[in-house]
A and B are shown apart, each in its own frame.
Chain A
Amino acid sequence: MASPQRAPARPGRVMRVVIAEDAALFREGLARLLADRGYQVAAAVADGEALRAAVATHRPDIAVADIRMPPTHTDEGLRAAIDIRRDHPGTGVLVLSQYIETRYAARLLAGNAAGVGYLLKDRVADVAEFTDALTRVAAGGTALDPEVVSQLLRASRYADGLAALTAREREVLALIAEGRSNAGIAAALVVSAGVVEKHVAGIFGKLGLPPGEADNRRVLAVLRYLGA
């Protein structure tokens, strides 16, 4: 995925982003990167309250929020993200953090995992993948860090069902849970789309999930299965 991807979610319209991050250095770097990739940064703020206000004002396609922000420096960004998903369904939220916390992921994904993402800050460094995730979340999809997915897999109540999967199938399941499409999975595993489809069918059969779902709903089915 070396070719730079310009990123409007819908053709003919530039995607609008609100950034919330308390470290000025990272905030400005992120704004520069997004502007460079063709996004319109509507606002860049430094705490949860300002994020809520900026989203209410600008109605962006997506809000990118750091979890740990003033004043409490615990989960400000997460709480703001959950509120935004509830109050502005048209705005996707992608939370970034230095750490992946299981309970935070569960809170973020509780109810509905559509239009949310939870990534380690490191992932921003892989620019193409990051903008991919951004586009997916803005379009109502999901982008979960591999770390989130591996924690969900380990913490799952259905360890027995998961144990029935082959190693390759577990890999594919993890990629589905991260929110990737068949094409994305094929690219990540360097296999053909047909092979991926076969694996997906196998996984859904073994776990007893309804087959043939569209990408987004497929992710939700898997996350529900994993108990998020």
Chain B
Amino acid sequence: MPERDNGEVATTGSVNPVSAPGPSRRHGAAALSRDLLRAPVTGRARRDLLFCLAESALAVVVLAGLGALPGLPLAVTLLVSGGQPVPPPSHAHPAGVVPVFALTVIGALLLLVLLAPRAGRGLAAVHGRLAARLLGVRLAGLPPVPAARGPFGWLAATARDGPGWRAVACLVLKLPVAVAEGCAVFLAIFGPVNMTYPFWWRLFRNHPPGVHLQPAVALTPFGSLPVATFAGSFAAFAAGAAMLLAAPWLARAAAAADCWLMRAMLGPGRLTQRVADLEQTRAQAVQDSAALLRRLERDLHDGAQVRLATLAMNLGLAREKLGPGADPAVRELVDAAHRGAKDALAELRGLARGIHPPVLDNGLPDALATLAAGSPLPVRLTTALPRRPAPAIETIAYFCAAELLANATKHSRANQVTIDVAASGEVLELRVGDDGCGGADPSGGGLSGLAQRVSVVDGQVRTVSPPGGPTQITVTLPMQA
């Protein structure tokens, strides 16, 4: 066994990717050929090929499932008829076997109907995870099967499971794609194998002249290539290199086709997707605007309010220091400046509070308590919030309560207002009631504006306000924007 050949393997084996042309000094054809040569060793090629491998394996599972359809009845019939193949009609006891066969066919079909959508969903989920993990392609999940009660409800829900059946159809339609994916895997494995022929040829085919051996066989997609001579082994090498170079492109194309098919068949319809996108961007917009207001208040608090408070404090100190002998005109000016600074501070506080009451950062109950205590009407406040809603929802609920409380104060002639906030599941409910004169108009400017503002998060306003009262207005909001 000549040692030299091993060395040859080591040096020649690194022909394909590493000796590719260097950095982008060369353009056009050179860069293209470099990319072509490098393609098989990129991470992307590895992931595409892994995906193809996994998909081909899953296709075998689907094929096995499809095969079980006629196979299972056949197997049962064989079992029943005592190991004999299905007898021809002319044979002795057809009467016993045919009904069994028919029954098992019906049974298998029923089983298929009952299990296929669920199995299809399961496999579709596996495909989805593979695509996400290996290709970074996110496929929207199927909508869940509607909840059902009892075994019959479950069966009915399964049989009527449209998306589940779509998943089954998709799995079947994917089979031809899986053939291409299997081909890619074949190319990636047998390409390098074929490329080794020239290296071991001399090791095993060093028989004395005159001995005739069967030609070795190199597998290619276009059939087997017989290799009988050392020169022929180079043909195998060339075929292998071509296969290796083609593998990543076939894998990429097959994976792309596979993803396209899955997206088309399993993904939501265009309209559904659009609605989902819009919902998401709308929630984002609501959150952003709440966060913006919060930041604005914070900036006021840390900036203008601090400066004004310090200014008022310094003017207060200056006023104290003027003493009894000071010029009355100066005193008057300082007094006016001092008063002005304090007024500005109070005004700014009101403004900042209207933008975002900072106590909301501590939760809705604390914020509503101050709101209630600031009301000229007595307010009875109850809050039951086991967990906090999203900040944007807290803000909306707070300003709804503030507006409803202001309405009650202005129009209801009530003696008592109640504010109840409760969360149940994913719904936040704010109820503001009063014992006043009623007659609040849901289509009036105030309430319809309120309804419009809560509709931004799919919230709703219900008004019960018969003439003569009492009034009860209920705002329902989702816990998350």
Binding site for B on A (CB under 8 A): 2, 4, 23, 25-26, 29-30, 32-33, 36, 68, 72-75, 98-104, 121-122, 124-128, 151-152, 154-155, 159
A65 CB to nearest B CB, Å: 15
State whether B316 touches A68 (Cβ < 8 A). Answer: no
How many B residues are at the interface, by size bracket? 35 or more
Chain B residues near A32: list those with CB within 8 A.
317
Q: Are B313 and A30 in contact (CB under 8 A)?
A: yes
Instruction: From known contacts A33-B313, A125-B313, A125-B338, infer whether A99 and B353 are also in contact, taking CB-CB under 8 Å.
Output: yes
Stretch at the interface among B37-45, B252-260, B278-286, B298-306: B298-306
Complex Cα distance A102/B315, Å?
29
Knowing A128-B320, A151-B374, the reply to whether A26 touches B309 (Cβ < 8 A) is: yes
Interchain residue pairs A-B with the least CB separation, the first 8: A125-B312, A151-B373, A125-B316, A102-B373, A23-B306, A155-B373, A103-B366, A29-B310
Q: Are B316 and A74 in contact (CB under 8 A)?
A: no
Which single residue of chain B is at the shortest CB-CB distance from A151?
Answer: B373
- In residues 131-174 of chain B, which contact A (Cβ within 8 Å)? none
- Among the stretches B120-128, B267-275, B357-365, B397-405, the one at the interface with A is B357-365
Tell me, in angstroms, the Cα distance from A26 to B308 when the chains sit together: 9
Q: For the complex, what is the distance from the CA of A29 to the CA of B316, rounded to whole Å?
A: 11
A29 x B313 contact (CB < 8 A):
yes
Q: Can you identify 13 A-B contacts, CB atoms within 8 angstroms?
A: A68-B358, A73-B298, A74-B358, A99-B358, A99-B359, A101-B359, A102-B370, A102-B373, A103-B365, A103-B366, A103-B369, A127-B320, A128-B320
Whether the Cβ atoms of B373 and A154 lie closer than 8 Å is: yes
Question: Would A127 and B316 count as touching, CB distance under 8 A?
Answer: yes
Residues of A contacting B313 with CB < 8 Å?
A: 26, 29-30, 33, 124-125, 127
B314 at the interface (CB under 8 A from A): yes
**Minimal beta-carbon separation of B344 from chain A (angstroms):** 10
Contact present for B365 and A126 (CB under 8 Å): no
Cβ contacts under 8 Å, A26 to chain B: 306, 309-310, 313
CB-defined contacts of B342 to chain A, threshold 8 Å: 122, 125
Q: Given A33-B313, A159-B378, is A125 in contact with B361 using a C-beta cutoff of 8 Å?
A: no
Judging by beta carbons under 8 Å apart, are A102 and B369 in contact?
A: yes
Cα–Cα, bound, A124→B313 (Å): 6
Residues of B within 8 A of A4 (CB): 320-321
Q: Please measure, in the bound complex, the distance between the C-alpha atom of A66 and the C-alpha atom of B194, giving whole angstroms.
A: 79
A68 touches B301 (CB 8 A): yes
A126 → B minimal CB distance (Å)? 6
A46 nearest CB across to chain B (Å) = 12
In this assembly, does B407 line the interface, its C-beta being within 8 Å of a C-beta of chain A? no
Interchain CB contact (< 8 A) of B362 among A75, A124, A154: A75
Say whether B345 faces chain A, with CB atoms less than 8 Å apart: yes
The distance in angstroms between the C-alpha atoms of A26 and B373, with both chains bound, is 29
Asked if B312 contacts A127 (CB within 8 A), the reply is no
Q: A74 to B307, Cβ gap below 8 A? A: no
Residues of B333-374 whose CB lies within 8 A of A: 338, 341-342, 345-346, 349, 352-353, 357-359, 361-362, 365-366, 369-370, 372-374
A171 to B100, CA, bound (A): 99
Quick check: A124 and B316 within 8 Å, CB to CB? yes
In the bound assembly, the distance between CA atoms of A36 and B321 in angstroms comes to 10
B352 surroundings in chain A (CB, below 8 A): 98
Point out the residue from B305, B341, B345, B370 that lies within 8 Å of A151, measured CB to CB: B370
**B337 → A minimal CB distance (Å):** 11
**B341 proximity list for chain A (CB < 8 A):** 125
